[in-house]
């Protein structure tokens, strides 16, 4: 099994394990040859700019789609204010961009501290949900009422905190991977506490995503398959029990299996939106399904359906390509990092954003039951947007600390050879 630690470039054996298998060349993927793409990917800061550009385009599309998709629902639920959700999204964007920039300039030790503090803070915020500050919505109790900011969802920040914290823990476990006790303690305790609190809020979608992040982190460090398989079997039994003991979850499952008897037409209306968009879409702002067919999900879980209806297959594929670039670059950063912690952190952030995006896309296309997972960067939600930008900041910081990138930045030039000047002495 190839791991993130196996993906990095060969370095002296005293600093890392020897690379194995297919993953050994990921850090160099696309850099061989004399093509323009190969030369661009060979630049020390290529990963930094790829993350920056792809994430910026996704954020920009997200603002545009929140403006378009949220206006009908916002007009109904906020006394005719069609721009309520847009303004709220912009507020969190104005907070998140400086946070991402600041995080991109921090070092490994700072990220480790943020992981521990973030985990403690996330547990505290999740606990507050069970106080009068917590809010119920759509069958879940997952939100906190905060003065000035309105409502926030602590579980979004818990994802980033868990990744940083577990990366710090697992970076010191490379010599004890075959010992389940040393590998899983306190790793499993941290994830278990967060998972338990999220499940108490009845948010199964977020709990599933956090579990998948946990398995991704174990894969990145090269955990034994017997451990991963045992945890997977236990998790599958738990999910099955949670589904069959909850009426609403069973309704969603039956609706997915039998669309003709579904209690909600929202999933089918998402398919109609994608189909009516055709190749080039109906045009920005001209979606019909956002006016009632997608209900409150037009700007959240089903924002991709609105985008597909307005921008067509071309726009949908463009979004998927941007996520592919972000995923590819995140794994390259993990492969090229000289630090195990940064490698695991970059891999974890990439897994989080990629898995969440895939789940949302599959739900919109009716390839999975509805689980209530938003599309990163594009779905309306201030907490989710801020958490996604935190992940981007960590990825940018890890890209800046790749060995060649760090040397280039330390030298203080843009990667071009220094200009040579000479003085000719004409005196005889």
pLDDT digit string, tens, across residues 215-233? 999 999 988 899 999 999 9
223 vs 24 pLDDT, higher one: 223
pLDDT tens column, 116-145:
999 999 999 999 999 998 988 777 888 998
Q: How far is CA 87 from the centre of its chain?
A: 23
Question: What are the extents of the domains in the chain?
Answer: 5-9+25-403
DSSP string, 92-121: HHHHHHHHHHHHHT--HHHHHHHHHHHHHH
- 20 pLDDT band, cuts 50/70/90, is very low
Is the pLDDT at 21 greater than 60? The verdict is no
Is the pLDDT at 422 greater than 50? The verdict is no
The CA distance from 85 to 299, in Å, is: 9
**Residue 375 · residue 360 · CB < 8 Å:** yes
Tell me whether residue 346 is exposed, middle or buried, using C-beta atoms within 10 angstroms of its C-beta: 0 to 12, 13 to 18, 19 or more.
Answer: buried
Tokens 């991709």 identify what position?
304
Q: Establish how many alpha carbons lie within 13 A of residue 242's alpha carbon, considering only the half-sphere containing its beta carbon.
A: 18
The CA distance from 223 to 182, in Å, is: 11
pLDDT for res 314: 96
- 423 pLDDT band, cuts 50/70/90, is very low
**Residue 31 · residue 265 · CB < 8 Å:** no
pLDDT tens column, 356-401:
999 999 999 999 998 889 999 999 999 999 999 999 999 999 999 9
Is the pLDDT at 86 greater than 90? The verdict is yes
Q: Which residues contact 339 (CB under 8 A, 6 or more apart)?
A: 108, 171, 401
197 vs 422 pLDDT, higher one: 197
- Greatest extent of the chain over all pairs of C-alpha atoms, in Å: 100
The CA distance from 213 to 160, in Å, is: 10
**Residue 166 · residue 191 · CB < 8 Å:** yes
pLDDT for res 421: 46
Please list the residues that pair with 152 across neighbouring strands: 144
């Amino acid at each position: 099994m190839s791991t993130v630690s196996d993906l990095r470039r060969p370095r002296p054996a005293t600093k890392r394990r020897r690379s194995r298998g297919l993953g050994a060349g990921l850090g160099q993927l696309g850099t061989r040859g004399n093509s323009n793409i190969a030369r661009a990917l060979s630049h020390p800061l290529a990963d930094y700019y790829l993350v920056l550009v792809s994430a910026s385009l996704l954020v920009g599309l997200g603002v545009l789609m929140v403006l378009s998709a949220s206006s009908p629902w916002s007009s109904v639920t906020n006394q005719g204010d069609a721009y309520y959700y847009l303004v709220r999204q912009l507020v969190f964007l104005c907070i998140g961009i400086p946070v991402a920039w600041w995080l991109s300039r921090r070092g490994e030790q700072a990220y480790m501290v943020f992981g521990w503090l973030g985990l403690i803070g996330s547990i505290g915020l999740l606990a507050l949900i069970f106080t009068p500050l917590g809010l119920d919505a759509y069958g879940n109790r997952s939100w906190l009422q905060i003065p000035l900011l309105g409502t926030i969802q602590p579980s979004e920040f818990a994802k980033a905190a868990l990744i940083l914290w577990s990366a710090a823990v697992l970076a010191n476990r490379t010599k004890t991977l075959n010992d389940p006790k040393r590998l899983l303690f306190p790793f499993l305790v941290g994830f278990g506490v967060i998972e338990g609190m999220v499940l108490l809020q009845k948010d199964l979608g977020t709990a599933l995503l956090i579990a998948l992040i946990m398995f991704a982190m174990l894969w990145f460090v090269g955990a034994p398959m017997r451990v991963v398989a045992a945890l997977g079997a236990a998790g599958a039994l738990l999910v099955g029990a949670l589904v069959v003991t909850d009426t609403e979850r069973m309704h969603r499952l039956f609706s997915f299996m039998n669309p003709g008897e579904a209690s909600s037409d929202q999933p089918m209306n998402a398919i109609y939106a994608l189909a009516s968009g055709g190749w080039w879409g109906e045009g920005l702002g001209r979606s019909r399904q956002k006016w009632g067919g997608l209900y409150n999900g037009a700007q959240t879980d089903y924002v991709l359906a609105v985008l597909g209806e307005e921008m067509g297959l071309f726009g949908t594929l463009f979004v998927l390509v941007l996520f592919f670039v972000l995923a590819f670059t995140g794994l390259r950063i993990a492969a090229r990092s000289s630090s195990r912690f940064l490698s695991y952190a970059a891999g974890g952030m990439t897994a989080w954003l990629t898995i969440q995006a895939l789940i949302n896309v599959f739900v919109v296309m009716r390839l999975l039951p509805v689980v209530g997972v938003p599309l990163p960067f594009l779905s309306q939600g201030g907490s989710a947007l801020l958490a996604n930008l935190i992940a981007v900041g960590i990825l940018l910081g890890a890209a800046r600390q790749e060995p060649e990138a760090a040397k280039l930045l330390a030298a203080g030039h843009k990667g071009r050879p220094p200009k040579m000047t000479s003085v000719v002495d004409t005196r005889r």
